[in-house]
Chains A and B, each alone.
Chain A
Amino acid sequence: MADIRYTRDHEYVRLDGDVATVGITDYAQRQLGDVVFVDLPAIGKKVTKGGDAAVVESVKAASEVYAPLTGEIVAVNAALSDAPATVNEDATGKGWFVKIRIADTGELADLMDQAAYDAYVASLG
């Protein structure tokens, strides 16, 4: 199984070497409801852990997606422009948002593993 880590803001990080694929969790997409627009950053943009990385909009509202890690955007999921509902259908697969080249792997220690995230979501009721 791939190494997946989570933030308290319900972003996930899937690691592949020093590149992290980032999206929002299934819990997050269910809370948002139907995703109708995703605003992605430019490739090459530097992002800071906890800073703005993208915006996801449901019918109701716009929500920030925060960078789980500091680094540089090396890819964005352009397919979401025409098919934002992919975020609802396959949040942790085809519904990814961006790939970040990680600047400091030490930050990974701040993220939750699967068991910790599952317990966290359960605690939210």
Chain B
Amino acid sequence: MTDSPPTEPLRRTPLHALHLRLGARTAPFAGYEMPIQYPAGILQEHLHTRAAAGLFDVSHMGQARLTGKNAAKRLESLVPGDIQALEPGRTRYTQFLDGEGNILDDLMATRLATTAGDEEALFLVVNAGCKAQDFALLQAALPDLELTILEDRALIAVQGPRAAAAFARVIPGFEAAPFMSMREADWRGATLFVSRSGYTGEDGYEISVPAALAEDFAATLLADPNVKPIGLGARDSLRLEAGLCLYGRDIDATTTPVEAGLLWSISKRRRAEGGFPGAARVQAQIAQGPARKRVGIRPEGKAPAREGTEILSEGGALIGRITSGGYGPSVGGPMAMGYVESAHAAPGTRLSLMVRGKALPAAVAPLPFVPARFYRGA
């Protein structure tokens, strides 16, 4: 008999014990044992988030502070987002790119209130599956800056039309915080970072909490009957309905922000100036149009088309593949995203999806599938 090969033990978030008490079914995700669903099930969890509010444990994501001289300008050497233009307390979505303009990860970058002179501080949130690579990249490429990885903080999202009211009962004063802004809050003597953002298409917050307080904080939010725990299963269907990319599926190191329809995240100045990895290729794609584009797709029947499904033109030619696909509980039917040759990317274009050897009719659909309800002011 031989010993089985050593496997990396799964990591647990500070909310692990709470998940188990709430009856979560867990599964490995990005090296963590994460809640996939609770007893209510993915369908009810999804619909509850759209109708009231859901609480999500996203503590597996990487949180870090990047500080030093001209930190915003320096970060721009790795990402195409306009970080210099960020006002203090404002957040921007951007991507780490490789030398070909392909996406190494996507992230949220927030400018923190500046200290003195040209010292600047940024708060970054990156994907769990990429965080080791991202932090290594930052340390190698920006050795003049200080990267502080915030290992001892949980990240909790509360999302949905009742999220703001539920959060205000715990910490008032953030009701009118703008979408894509971040501010500190004091809770039981600790500092929380409260960001008005999310991954569901709904209003809500993502809150960085010291690990030691995370369970109490989550339990306090869950004491509100409008707030239910939501697993990664519903998080995936919610973000897909909202037309948001999942790194590793809809975007990865073979796709550029232009192909992925993320050009909105690259400002006019940065498009013109470049100065980020792969700028030449990204600029060429902007000028000439990319050969393929990420699109929304609605199958006409009831059968979901999953990741990897071949997409055919009306004439029967292979023109792309589904990258995320499933059933949209709020859509009430199947929905998908994928890449197609640009000639077939206009909404309404008829396609076929090869599901279990059958060509099922579908059409390109505008994204998002469910209108975004971010906070846009009272």
Contact = CB atoms under 8 A, between A and B. Distances in A.
B237 A59 contact: yes
A45 B316 CA distance: 27
B356 interface: yes
Contacts of B334: 37
Given A59-B43, A59-B233, A59-B237, A37 B306 contact: no
Nearest to A60: B233
Interface string A7-47: 00000000000000000000000000110110100000000
A76 interface: no
Nearest to B332: A36
B246 to A, nearest CB: 14
Contacts of B276: none
Given A34-B43, A37-B334, A39-B356, A59 B329 contact: yes
B96 interface: no
A81 B301 CA distance: 10
B327 interface: yes
B326 interface: yes
Interface string B277-307: 0000000000000000000000000111010
A61 interface: yes
* B-side interface mostly: mixed
Contact of A37 (B42, B236, B327): B327
B370 to A, nearest CB: 15
Contacts of A55: 356
A57 B327 contact: yes
Nearest to A55: B356
A81 B303 CA distance: 10
Contacts of A59: 42-43, 46, 233-234, 237, 326-327, 329
A33 B39 CA distance: 10
Interface residues of A, number: 13
Given A39-B303, A62-B306, A33 B37 contact: yes
Interface in B230-279: 233-234, 236-237
B41 interface: yes
A58 B42 contact: yes
B356 A34 contact: no
B319 to A, nearest CB: 23
B41 A33 contact: yes
A120 B322 CA distance: 37
A34 B302 contact: no
B233 A33 contact: yes
A67 B316 CA distance: 32
A57 B304 contact: yes
A96 to B, nearest CB: 19
A34 B41 contact: yes
A55 B356 CA distance: 10
Contacts of A36: 43, 304, 327
A59 B306 CA distance: 11
Contacts of A62: 304, 306
16 contacts: A33-B41, A34-B42, A34-B43, A34-B44, A36-B43, A36-B327, A37-B302, A37-B304, A39-B303, A39-B356, A57-B303, A59-B42, A59-B43, A59-B46, A60-B36, A60-B233
Given A36-B327, A55-B356, A81-B302, 16 more contacts: A33-B37, A33-B41, A33-B42, A34-B42, A34-B44, A36-B43, A36-B304, A37-B302, A39-B356, A59-B43, A59-B234, A59-B237, A59-B327, A59-B329, A60-B236, A62-B306
The 6 closest A-B pairs by CB, nearest first: A34-B43, A36-B327, A59-B42, A59-B327, A34-B41, A33-B41
